[in-house]
Structure 1
């Protein structure tokens, strides 16, 4: 019997693709516009970083809770609520008149994204459970995911230069409205979600507080060093909260936020470790290349955004290759191949020079690295959700998104600090170039480590048996 969740898979895929594009776009769309935002609202140098961090903080800190909510209360309901919150926050943020209003809007966007991302990904895994359709669906998802991040720089640059910085917020409104309309019509409510017990409120509080403090401690290293008492205390408290969360999950008689047995699945564990390292490498590489183009090569925001276009196209091309190869190769093989190709691209990036040019220092490595990333993304999601029971796909999706977001925050802080130390006190084009080159070299090293971790992922993973599914879920109509 056909499940209701698969009734209109094409439109479901369209809604999920728009959602993922929008969430990824917001991780980078404001970056190029930061100088204009600072001038328009009167941000100080330290306060301006919170335009980025407010989104990362709430997004990364609430992802596990968002994943569990989609499992417990239903994918469609959480998806629609997240879309409404994300669109409303974007609309209000565009009208911000002072720094605090924009930071609050960005935080609200992060809360919406924490609900959207795992619900959309779980919906995709549920709608396309196996076969060629699953490979194609995750290929589309991976293309829109990475294209959103890459095109965010281009779109942010064009909007900032020609329409004003407020449009980097307004641009989300029509996308959220479109996704809301499609999801409302195309995504069925599905069977009632299974609620096997009382929710683990204490575990939810501990996980959310611990992850939020972890992200907070990392992003604050721009202001406080890694060895400062403020940073060490924050990270120690975060570690204590997360350790308490693990203990609660082991002993609770309530419905756990994350069933620890999920980590016994080598595919889930390996995919999340891979995601952590690739998230750190990609966020850092985007950051360094954007600064290299603007501060060393002295290109304007619109042109800088345009120079990221080959990167976005390369990701799409890599995703197409991943679909074709995915019919014959296991996700593990594609992760290893994609990780090594991306590492080669980042290593090539590290050869940048202070008197370089886009054609000689940026274009070639952009194409290589982006194709490698495109090869990775779809298989990564497939590996992280294959073999997971349907009632836990939201949790698994939240874990994957969380590991990537935490990786991005940790990587950017750690590699940014290393690049800053290499730059030294004198910020000339030559010293800046040296710092960015080091950061890109370290990004390549992270990708090599990720490829090695992919070796731990099984070649094939087993999905739960039909008998197990019947025990876990009510019958589909």
Structure 2
């Protein structure tokens, strides 16, 4: 038991670092933009999107790699990539270097995250012990998000934005040493010779990157530009190639037949829409508070603290609702609250106060996210064969990351284009910027309403009410495992 606890805390240190890094970057974005002379808001968002795209694109690949290489080895490789890329980011001298480093960080995170969860599952075999371990995992994730908001402000204001990346180096080094010393390199006992689907991972990641790149640049080039449609066409071709690869591969990254499970498919569509609409919460308010209201980095960090706290509290309440009524009510109620929060934020103007303008919308979106996340991951596992539970988990996590990236790219593009139109018509700079944000928030809220409709139409009230784990004995107490990790770049 003592060794199990040691292993748990080692992987939790790795998880804390990944979550800390995602939110720590959010608060430092304005300082990064000015420090490296980013050309525009559209270019700056790639600091987030480069991470998310590689993380989401290689998340399923990372889970498969653990079967071949072993979970400890996968964790160590991910930590090495994360640590080295953090050093590259900390010493970057131009936007291109930083964006490249963030992409490599995303790849590292895509190896670390499935390794952490796999190690916890194989280390704690009993239902109760595993539930407790995953409960600690969720608590560390939530605390890492909150700590990142505050640490990002403190490090940026007291030192420099580079410190937010360099702080990862000692954490990664400690985690690597401890993993090599205490964690066995276990592999999947029944997989035999597992082949990694590298062509599938590369084609889907490249296709989605081209898709987002085309959407991002559409604001500057125009939607009628040949370059935009060339990028979108290439993205579509790569996605088709991915589907062909998966259909003929003996060991595909994604078995396409799994999408015949109605609840799983509905949950993944709803997740893409949910994160696509809500992820502007990690971008627009930061720029609003820093550029329009003149907040310092530490003030931005403190302003964001209610978000992860409210989300964690709402997630606890949602668990009780799910236990009594199943996940569907918590899910659609949460999505509606999320939409209400974004609609409230769409009313911001340059003179709005934090208490009256930003905070109510922030709390509503946090409460809605807490309700929806607690239910979404549970529904995504309904009707899935036990041997494909890992694939189902990977799919919903991938939908989370990709929805975030594509949604942020699209809504940032729309906001920037509207702001440019207003500036050309003579509107004052701050007012034009805020009205661009408002349009992004409004469209995000509409997307959340569409996600709600998908949940209501595609998920039955009975889905997820009685979900037993694959190792759960008949008659034993049911302890559903629910991932409460937010979509913050990882």
Range of TM-score over shorter length: 0.7 to 0.9
Worse-superposed segment, 7-16 or 324-333: 7-16
1:26 counterpart SS class: helix
1:168 counterpart SS class: helix
- Name 1:346's counterpart in structure 2: 342
Task: Give, in whole Å, the separation in 2 of the partners of 1:137 and 1:444.
Answer: 35
Q: Is the 8 A contact 1:338 1:375 kept in 2?
A: yes
Task: Give, in whole Å, the separation in 1 of the partners of 2:223 and 2:20.
Answer: 29
Task: Give, in whole Å, the separation in 1 of the partners of 2:123 and 2:445.
Answer: 35
Question: How has the CA–CA distance of structure 1 residues 358 and 37 changed in structure 2, closer, same or farther, with 3 Å as cutoff?
Answer: closer
TM-aligned CA deviation for residue 226 of structure 1? 3.8
- Name 1:102's counterpart in structure 2: 98
Question: How has the CA–CA distance of structure 1 residues 270 and 282 changed in structure 2, closer, same or farther, with 3 Å as cutoff?
Answer: same
Residues 1:60 and 2:52 aligned together: no
Please list every run of 5 or more consecutive structure 1 residues that lacks an aligned counterpart in the other structure. Answer: 1-5, 468-477
Residues 1:301 and 2:303 aligned together: no
Give the alignment partner of residue 311 of structure 1, picking from 307, 311, 314. 307
TM-aligned CA deviation for residue 105 of structure 1? 2.4
- Name 1:115's counterpart in structure 2: 111
Residues 1:384 and 2:380 aligned together: yes
TM-aligned CA deviation for residue 26 of structure 1? 3.0
Worse-superposed segment, 300-309 or 182-191: 182-191
**After superposition, what is the alpha-carbon deviation per residue over 1:244-271, rounded to whole angstroms, capped at 9, x for unaligned?**
221232233x211211122122332222
Please list every run of 5 or more consecutive structure 2 residues that lacks an aligned counterpart in the other structure. Answer: 473-490
TM-aligned CA deviation for residue 108 of structure 1? 1.7
TM-aligned CA deviation for residue 355 of structure 1? 1.6
Worse-superposed segment, 178-187 or 336-345: 178-187
Worse-superposed segment, 150-159 or 433-442: 150-159
TM-aligned CA deviation for residue 87 of structure 1? 2.1
- Name 1:475's counterpart in structure 2: none
Task: Give, in whole Å, the separation in 2 of the partners of 1:223 and 1:106.
Answer: 23
Residues 1:203 and 2:204 aligned together: no
Task: Give, in whole Å, the separation in 1 of the partners of 2:446 and 2:43.
Answer: 32
Task: Give the number of equivalent residue pairs.
Answer: 461
Q: Is the 8 A contact 1:121 1:394 kept in 2?
A: no
TM-aligned CA deviation for residue 86 of structure 1? 0.9
Task: Give, in whole Å, the separation in 2 of the partners of 1:408 and 1:373.
Answer: 13
- Name 1:246's counterpart in structure 2: 243
Q: Is the 8 A contact 2:212 2:409 kept in 1?
A: no
Task: Give, in whole Å, the separation in 2 of the partners of 1:122 and 1:175.
Answer: 21
Residues 1:228 and 2:230 aligned together: no
Give the alignment partner of residue 90 of structure 1, picking from 82, 86, 93. 86
1:327 counterpart SS class: helix
Residues 1:401 and 2:375 aligned together: no
Task: Give, in whole Å, the separation in 2 of the partners of 1:9 and 1:444.
Answer: 44
Residues 1:361 and 2:357 aligned together: yes
Task: Give, in whole Å, the separation in 2 of the partners of 1:297 and 1:84.
Answer: 39
TM-aligned CA deviation for residue 314 of structure 1? 0.7
Q: Is the 8 A contact 1:335 1:375 kept in 2?
A: yes
2:24 counterpart SS class: coil
Question: How has the CA–CA distance of structure 1 residues 437 and 43 changed in structure 2, closer, same or farther, with 3 Å as cutoff?
Answer: closer
**Structural RMSD (CA):** 3.5
Task: Give, in whole Å, the separation in 1 of the partners of 2:300 and 2:270.
Answer: 29
Task: Give, in whole Å, the separation in 2 of the partners of 1:215 and 1:39.
Answer: 24
